């Protein structure tokens, strides 16, 4: 496919599908618009994969178009990752979805990236095992959750989310020897750390699995990550973390 033609096609499709966005007020309409946009972008890229960079460049060169796309995506946040995946051809690992609580556009996101003070293995028990939706069906020493190199130590894991938000709630899914989480800090977009939770380690292994630690948050900070500290020195065994969720209002767009 001719590059110029493809770009023209893409820009036309974007203009048609985004159109006078101000006139579209119903979320359902925006959802349809964004879905049409995604379909168009995917079709263009599928037909001419070498155009991926051209597409990205076209959007960069037409900033007002980017804003329109971002506005559509903000109104239909679950489509963000689909659009990004279409542009980058990377697997969708994280799909922010609209909150079911009707809290006016709040996002629920699973962690996308993670690093830790130590890992028992890699990929088994690595920090990355704490990203994505929960995938540890039974509690125990399972490879699908993060475990530190040693038991009995104080360790930390930092997780990053696809979109920064003003958080309202954090949720930590623990699948082995909960709950040894002793501190949770928000990481704001300037890399500042802000403690929002502290506790003493307690062995809650006899409680229903997974053990879900839910922490309500009240802040004006724009947050893109969390640092979770566990103290395994009291219980003396691994506190494994399967997944981490961040709920909050998206910023900007
Ligand atoms: Ca996991």
pLDDT digits (tens, 9 = 90+) for 134-176: 999 999 999 999 999 999 999 999 999 999 999 999 999 999 9
The pLDDT of residue 249? 96
- On whether residue 101 sits in a domain, the answer given is no
Using the mean position of ligand 1's atoms as its centre, give its distance from the Cα of residue 119 in Å. 14
Structural domains counted in the chain: 2
Q: Which of 92, 119, 144 is the last residue of a domain?
A: 92
Distance CA 101, CA 45 (A): 36
pLDDT band at 251 (very low <50, low <70, confident <90, very high): confident
Using the mean position of ligand 1's atoms as its centre, give its distance from the Cα of residue 127 in Å. 9
Distance CA 91, CA 248 (A): 24
Percentage of the residues of the chain whose pLDDT score is greater than 70: 58
pTM of the entire predicted model: 0.62
Asked if residue 3 has pLDDT above 50, the reply is no
Same domain, 64 and 112: no
- On whether residue 97 sits in a domain, the answer given is no
Same domain, 184 and 129: yes
pLDDT band at 243 (very low <50, low <70, confident <90, very high): very high
Asked if residue 92 has pLDDT above 50, the reply is no
Same domain, 233 and 116: yes
Using the mean position of ligand 1's atoms as its centre, give its distance from the Cα of residue 158 in Å. 14
Residues with Cβ within 8 Å of residue 113, at least 6 apart in sequence:
128, 131, 159, 160
pLDDT digits (tens, 9 = 90+) for 25-84: 455 654 565 465 545 556 655 655 555 555 555 555 555 555 554 555 455 555 555 545
Using the mean position of ligand 1's atoms as its centre, give its distance from the Cα of residue 208 in Å. 17
Write out the DSSP string of 77-139.
GGGHHHHHHHHH--------EE-TT--SS-EEEE--EEEES--SSSSTT-GGGGSSS----S-
- For 66, the domain range is 3-92
CATH of the domain at 199: 2.60.120.260
Distance CA 99, CA 107 (A): 6
Asked if residue 86 has pLDDT above 80, the reply is no
Same domain, 228 and 120: yes
- HSE on the CB side for 42, CA within 13 Å? 14
The pLDDT of residue 132? 98
Unique residue bearing structure tokens 């699973």: 110
Q: What does the block give as tokens for 100?
A: 């079911």
Q: Which of 92, 124, 146 is the last residue of a domain?
A: 92
Unique residue bearing structure tokens 């809290």: 103
Q: Which of 45, 67, 92 is the last residue of a domain?
A: 92
Mean pLDDT (the chain) is: 77
| Ion ligand 1 residues within 5 Å by Cβ | 129, 135, 144, 242
Asked if residue 119 has pLDDT above 80, the reply is yes
């Amino acid at each position: 496919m001719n590059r110029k033609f493809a770009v023209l096609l893409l820009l036309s499709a974007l203009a048609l599908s985004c159109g006078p966005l101000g006139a579209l007020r119903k979320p359902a309409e925006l959802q349809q618009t964004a879905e049409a946009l995604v379909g168009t972008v995917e079709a263009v890229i599928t037909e001419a994969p070498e155009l991926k960079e051209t597409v990205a460049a076209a959007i960069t060169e037409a900033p007002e178009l980017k804003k329109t796309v971002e506005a559509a995506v903000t109104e239909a946040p679950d489509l963000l990752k689909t659009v990004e995946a279409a542009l980058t051809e990377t697997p969708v690992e994280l799909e922010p979805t609209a909150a079911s609580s009707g809290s006016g556009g709040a996002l629920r996101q699973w962690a996308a990236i993670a690093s830790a003070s130590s890992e028992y293995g890699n990929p088994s028990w690595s920090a990355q095992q704490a990203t994505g939706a929960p995938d540890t069906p039974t509690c125990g020493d399972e490879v699908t959750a993060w475990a530190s190199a040693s038991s009995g130590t104080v360790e930390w894991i930092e997780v990053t989310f696809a979109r920064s938000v003003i958080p309202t709630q954090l949720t930590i899914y623990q699948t082995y020897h909960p709950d040894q989480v002793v501190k949770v800090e928000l990481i704001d977009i300037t890399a500042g750390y802000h403690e929002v939770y502290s506790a003493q380690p307690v062995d809650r292994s006899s409680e229903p699995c997974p053990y879900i630690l839910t922490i309500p948050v009240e802040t004006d900070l724009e947050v893109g990550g969390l640092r979770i500290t566990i103290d395994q020195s009291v219980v003396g065994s691994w506190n494994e973390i399967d997944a981490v969720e961040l709920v909050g209002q998206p910023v900007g767009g």
